Amino acid sequence: MPPVSATAARRARFWAARRHTLQIIGSIGVVFVGVLEAMALLLWVPRQALFPLALVGLPIGLALGVLEAVVFPALVQRVNLRVATLLQGVAHLLLLGVLYGAFLWVTYLLDLHQLWLPPTGKTPGLVQNVLRVAIIYLFAGSMTTLVRQLLLRMDRQRLMQLLAGHYQQPVSEDRIFLFVDLKGSTRLAETLGNDRYSRFVRDFFADASVAIATTRGEVYQYVGDEVVVTWPAKLGVSHANVLHCFFEMQHRIEERQSYYLRKYGVVPEFKAGAHGGPVTTVLVGAAHRELVYHGDVLNTTARIQAQCNALGSKFLVSDSLYRQLGAQPEYQFTHLGNHQLRGKAGATELVDVQEKAFYQPLHAQTLESTWPAGN
């Protein structure tokens, strides 16, 4: 592929992170309006009120999206759980009040005696009106929370494919995988104890998620202290997303090293391996359904990551992935020759990847606004 300038690559990643967040907020807003319209029909709202309700409901839905995708996750990480729950409840009550006011405004705008007109002809009282709006909001809020959870696990295109039954039967795909593993986890678990070590790993994964979102990666699995990230091959190679994901993780941890030292007395260190190729993707399980990838690519990537300690490297990629990436002015590549990976019949050529001096990560504040992480 043709060389990509460092500035163009950074700009693309910057907007990719925002696109992911805006996608979640927009989807929540649309779902909120859809539920609002459906409930309005069930509650005998006149048809001429449906369009005004959609107009006033969309800003409320988008506000709910901001709260669900940005504010509430940050609150849970930054303050006591009880305080976060209380603040979340207050925010929901405020939005409920705004929704009730919007219903009254639409009633006034259309010169209706009541917004909903039950077949019995009996005029509902104030309590009944408030309960109706509360039920609508609670139902819409539940649906939007479900949408947010689904979109946190995968992008909209993958979600649509799953809903369409695309992976009920095995599907061949070309994907890139990045295995990121914490170093010294056994020693850390003994030193910190189970509870503090669990919080330590949680914080690391939260910080790593910033880089994953920025580079439009999907978390395939969290396995103990390891996270497996994947991209469709074209997306992983585009702007060297697979490489940038690892180094953005490093910079995120560097920016927050004072926090880790203050809370745990140690800063996370990690190593990674990356490789790509054909895999088979399929939904498995009956009681619990999960999307899984099968193929030698995953085993090879895991073995490449395991070679980091032996070769004194923090980040290794296969030569085949290096050739896919093409010229990348932000990074320094060092060919380490062929190596026999455990369980592999033939040798695999490995390449060490490091940053060049002029590499510039995204600013910490821009990342904070994109994907809240633990503090």
Mean per-residue pLDDT for 337-345? 83
Q: What is the pLDDT of residue 117?
A: 63
Lookup: tokens for 114:
């009541």
More confident residue, 372 or 200: 200
Whether 360 has a pLDDT exceeding 70, the answer reads: no
pLDDT at 311: 92
Please choose, from the candidates 90, 66, 65, 87, the residue with its C-alpha nearest in 3D space to the C-alpha of residue 76: 87
Q: What angle separates helix 156-163 from helix 126-153, to the nearest 10 degrees?
A: 100
373 band by pLDDT with thresholds 50, 70 and 90? very low
pLDDT at 191 over 80: yes
Residue spans in the chain of domains classed CATH 3.30.70.1230: 167-370
The answer, yes or no, to whether residue 177 has pLDDT greater than 60, is yes
Q: Predicted confidence band at 157 (pLDDT cuts at 50, 70, 90)?
A: low
Residue 185 burial (C-beta neighbours within 10 Å; 0-12, 13-18, 19+):
middle
In this prediction, residue 370 carries a pLDDT of 35
Residue 2 pLDDT greater than 50, yes or no: no
Coil, helix or strand for 114? coil
Weakest-pLDDT range from 16-25, 52-61, 217-226, 270-279: 16-25
Task: Give the model's pLDDT for residue 81.
Answer: 72
Q: Chain-wide mean pLDDT for the chain?
A: 82
**Token digits of residue 90:** 């207050």
Measured CA to CA, the distance from residue 267 to residue 261 in angstroms comes to 6
- 157 or 190: whose pLDDT is higher? 190
pLDDT for 364 equals 35
Residue 16 pLDDT greater than 80, yes or no = no
Residue 227 and residue 2: Cα distance in Å, rounded?
Answer: 30
Predicted confidence (pLDDT) at residue 336 exceeds the cutoff of 90: yes
The mean per-residue pLDDT over the stretch 294-311 comes to 93
- Burial class, 157, CB count within 10 angstroms (exposed 0-12 / middle 13-18 / buried 19+): exposed
Q: Based on C-alpha coordinates, what's the Rg of the chain?
A: 25
C-alpha 10/C-alpha 138 separation (Å) is 40
Architecture of domain 167-370: 2-Layer Sandwich (3.30)
Q: At 365, is the pLDDT very low, low, confident or very high (cuts 50, 70, 90)?
A: very low
What pLDDT does 124 receive?
Answer: 62
**Residue 276 confidence (pLDDT):** 95
Summarize the confidence of residues 109-123 as an average pLDDT. 70
Query: CA quadruple 369, 373, 374, 375: dihedral positive or negative?
Result: negative
For the ranges 97-106, 134-143, 182-191, 235-244, the lowest mean pLDDT is seen at: 134-143
Q: Give the per-residue pLDDT at 264.
A: 93
Q: Which of 136-140, 209-213, 330-334 has the highest mean pLDDT?
A: 330-334
**How far is Cα 121 from Cα 123, in angstroms, rounded to an integer?**
6
